[in-house]
Amino acid sequence: MAVMDLNVSPLGQVEGDLDVRVTITDGVVTDAWTTAAMFRGFEIILKGKDPQAGLIMTPRICGICGGSHLYKACYALDTAWATYVPPNATRVRNIAQACETLQSIPRWFYAIMGPDLTAAQYAGALPTRKPHAASRRTSAPATRRA
Amino acid sequence: MASVLWFQGGACSGNTMSFINAAEPSVVDLIVDFGLEVVYHPTLSMELGKAAQDIFWSYAKGEKECDIFVFEGTVIEGPNGTGRMDMFAERPMKDWVSDIAPKAGVVVAIGDCASWGGLPAVPPNPSESRGLQFDRGGKKGGYLGPDFVSRLGLPVINIPGCPAHPDWISQIIVALAAGRAKDLDLDELHRPRTFFTTFTQTGCTRVQFYNYKQDPKSFGQGMRSGCLFYEFGCRGPMTHSPCNRILWNRQSSKTRAGHPCTGCTEPGYPFGDLELGTVFKTQKVAGVIPKDEPTGMDPASYMALAGLSRAVAPQWSKEDMFVV
Ligand code: SF4
Ligand code: SF4
C-alpha cells in the first residue's frame, strides 16, 4: 500500500488564502484537510458598535460576494428592529442580488476556472455536444396545457 | 514589458474584483497592448503549491526582479507580532512582504487596507493590522516604516478606496508599466494627485441642495433631492475622491444613488470608529454645528454661510424637482 501526503500551499484561483493537504493511498484520495489561515476578527470589531455598522463592515468580509453579505446584514437589522419592508424594497434587493450573481458567474468561469480547461490533461475529458440540436430532446414534455 | 507580482494580505479580494472590472483600460488591454506580465496573482494565476512557492522565493531572494509589487489587504502582525494570523505559502505573509517589497521597482498599495489598515484596523484591531506605509488615521509609518523606498527610490504609492475604483487602479498601472513611475505627482498621503485632489462633492448632483442647506428629510425615501451632508453624515465636502467625475459602472455614485459618502479614500474611514450613533449620521457640536466642516472652512464662516443660505433658499430647493 503506497501512502502519499500532498501539501498544497497556496492553492490559488480561490478568493482568499487556502491550503489543502491530501492523503493519497494507492493513487486514490483517502483523506483531505483544508486550512484558510487568515484572520481579521470582524465579529470582534463589530461587538458593541452601532447596529448600522454592520452595513459598512459586513460586506467587506468578501469582495466577491459583498452584496450577499450586505443583504443579510440588512435582513438582520430588519428582524431585530421589526422593520416593515415594503414589497418594492424586497424587489430592489432581489434585483441587486441577481446583478451580483450575473457578474459573479462569468467572472468565476472565464477569469478564474476557465483557463484551467485549456490544460492538455483536459483534452478528451470533457463531453462534447453533438452537432444536431434535434438529438437534445428525445421526448415531448409529458403534459401541455393551452 | 513590466512584470507585476500581486499579493493579498488581510484582504477581501474586493480590489482584485474591482481591477478585473476595469474598462479604461481593461485588464486585457494591460496585458495585450501594454505588455504587462502578471508573474503571480492569487486569484488569476494557475500555479499552486510548490510551483507558486518557487516563484515567490525567486523574488524574495532577489534572483528575479519584479517591476511592480501590488499589495492588497492589510499587513497582519498578530498574534503578538508573529504574523501567524495570515499564513501564505507556509510563511507569515508579513515575511514575504519584508523580503519582496524593497527589491521591487515600485510598491503599490491598493485599497484602504493596504494603504493604512482600513476596516480590519478599526479598534480593537484584533489582527494587529497595518497599512504598508501608513497607519489608521494617516500617521506615516505602517509596516514598512516611514523611510521605506522601493528599488526605484519611491515610497509606497497608495490607491485608496474601499474598494478602489477599477480605472484608478488600471490607469496607475498603465503609467507604471510605461515607466512613468517618477512622473506621478503624489500628495502627502502618497495618493496620485490626478485622482485625489478634487472632492467626492465635485460633480455631485445634489450640490444645489448643499448650497441652500436643504436635506432630504428622511433616509432612503427615493430621495433624489436634498443634500446628505446636514443630517446623514455625507463626507463628500471633505473627502478627496473622483467618485462623481469617474462614475461607478459608468453610471452612478453613492451620493447620486442617495447613499452618503462615508469617506472611504481617507485614512480616518470609517469615521468615528463605527461607535454608537456615528453611522450615517452627521456628527454635531451643540446640536447644530457639524463637527467636521467642509475642507478649508472654519466653524464661524461655515455657520454664517449656512444661516444665510437657508434664509434665502428658494422654494424649488425644498421640493422634489425631479418630475417623472
Ligand atoms: S450629498 Fe454629499 S457630495 Fe453631494 S452635495 Fe451633499 S455633501 Fe456634497
Ligand atoms: S462616494 Fe465616498 S465612500 Fe463612496 S466610494 Fe466614493 S469616496 Fe468612497
> Which ligand is closest to the CA of B254, given by its number?
2
| Closest A-chain CA to B126 | A41
**Per the CB < 8 Å rule, is B10 touching A14?**
no
DSSP B40: E
Segment B181-225, tens digit of pLDDT: 999 999 999 999 999 999 999 999 999 999 999 988 888 765 688
Q: What is the pLDDT of residue A75?
A: 94
Give the Cα separation of A134 and A144 in Å (integer): 20
Give the Cα separation of B225 and B281 in Å (integer): 18
| Min Cα separation A26/chain B (Å) | 22
Neighbour count for residue B294 (Cβ, 10 Å): 16
> Going by CA atoms, what residue is nearest to atom 8 of ligand 2?
B264
CB distance B52 to A17 below 8 Å:
no
Give the Cα separation of B111 and B70 in Å (integer): 11
Segment A126-143, tens digit of pLDDT: 666 665 554 444 444 444
Mean pLDDT over each residue of chain A, to the nearest integer: 85
**What are the domain boundaries of chain A?**
1-36, 39-117
Res. A17 pLDDT band, cuts 50 70 90: confident
CB distance B235 to B262 below 8 Å:
yes
Q: Count CA atoms within 13 Å of residue A25 on its CB side.
A: 4
Give the Cα separation of B25 and B22 in Å (integer): 6
> Going by CA atoms, what residue is nearest to atom 2 of ligand 1?
B236
Give the Cα separation of B168 and B25 in Å (integer): 10
Name the A residues in 33-72 with CB < 8 Å from any B CB.
Answer: 35, 37-42, 44-46, 48-50, 52-53, 55-57, 60-64, 66
Place of cell 470582524: A42
Q: Which residues contact B262 (CB under 8 A, 6 or more apart)?
A: A56, B233, B235, B254, B269, B270, B271
The CB of B163 under 6 Å from ligand 1? The reply is no
**Per the CB < 8 Å rule, is A50 touching B275?**
yes
Q: What is the pLDDT of residue B268?
A: 96
Mean pLDDT over each residue of chain B, to the nearest integer: 94
The average pLDDT across B140-157 equals: 98
Give the residue from B232, B163, B231, B234 showing the smallest Cα distance to B204: B234
The average pLDDT across B135-139 equals: 97
Say how many Å lie between the CA of residue B117 and the centre of ligand 2. Answer: 17
* Predicted confidence (pLDDT) at residue A144 exceeds the cutoff of 60: no
* Predicted confidence (pLDDT) at residue B125 exceeds the cutoff of 90: yes
Pair type for strands B129-130 and B75-76: antiparallel
Highest mean pLDDT among A121-130, B44-53, B157-166: B157-166
> Going by CA atoms, what residue is nearest to atom 6 of ligand 1?
B227
Name residue A22's amino acid: V
Segment A18-51, tens digit of pLDDT: 999 999 999 999 999 999 999 999 999 999 999 9
Exposed, middle or buried: residue B272 (CB in 10 Å: 0-12, 13-18, 19+)?
middle
Q: What is the pLDDT of residue A129?
A: 64
Q: What is the pLDDT of residue A145?
A: 46
Which residues in B lie closer than 8 A to residue A60 (C-beta atoms)? Answer: 12, 14, 118-119, 162
Q: What is the pLDDT of residue A34?
A: 94
List the single range of B87-91, B267-271, B287-291 with lowest mean pLDDT.
B287-291
Read off φ and ψ for residue A54, nearest 5 degrees.
-60, -30
For chain A, what's the residue count? 146
State the ipTM, two decimals: 0.92
Q: What is the pLDDT of residue A130?
A: 60
Ligand 1 atom with the shortest distance to the CA of B199: 3
Q: What is the pLDDT of residue A132?
A: 56
Q: What is the pLDDT of residue B224?
A: 80
Res. B46 pLDDT band, cuts 50 70 90: confident
- The more confidently predicted of residues B182 and A121 is B182
Q: What are the CA-CA distances from residue A88 to residues A45, A84, A85, B76, B81 (Å)?
A: 33, 12, 8, 42, 49
Segment B61-72, tens digit of pLDDT: 999 999 999 999
Give the residue from B118, B155, B124, B161 showing the smallest Cα distance to B137: B118
Does residue B45 come out as left (phi exceeding 0), alpha (psi in the -120 to 50 range) or beta? beta
| Min Cα separation A36/chain B (Å) | 8
Highest mean pLDDT among B43-52, B82-91, B207-216, B314-323: B82-91
**Per the CB < 8 Å rule, is A53 touching B279?**
yes
Ligand 2 atom with the shortest distance to the CA of B239: 7
The CB of B196 under 6 Å from ligand 1? The reply is no
Q: What is the pLDDT of residue B234?
A: 96
- The more confidently predicted of residues B27 and B288 is B27
Q: What is the pTM of this model?
A: 0.92
Across the A/B interface, how many CB contacts are shorter than 8 Å? 142
| Closest B-chain CA to A18 | B88
Give the residue from B281, B251, B38, B74 showing the smallest Cα distance to B162: B74
Ligand 2 atom with the shortest distance to the CA of B241: 7
Which residues in B lie closer than 8 A to residue A41 (C-beta atoms)? Answer: 120, 126-127
> Which ligand is closest to the CA of B225, given by its number?
1
Give DSSP secondary structure letters for chain A.
Answer: --EEEEEESS--SSSS--EEEEEEETTEEEEEEEE--B---HHHHHTTS-TTHHHHHGGGG-SSSHHHHHHHHHHHHHHHHT----HHHHHHHHHHHHHHHHHHHHIIIIIIIGGGGGSGGGTTTS----S-GGGG--S--S----
Give the Cα separation of B210 and B294 in Å (integer): 11
The CB of B106 under 6 Å from ligand 2? The reply is no
The average pLDDT across A92-121 equals: 87
Give DSSP secondary structure letters for B58-76.
Answer: HHHTTSS--SEEEEESBEE
Place of cell 472565464: A110
Q: What is the pLDDT of residue A128?
A: 67
The CB of B290 under 6 Å from ligand 1? The reply is no
Best mutation target, B15, B16, B43, B269, to test chain A (most A CBs within 10 A)? B43
- The more confidently predicted of residues A133 and B151 is B151
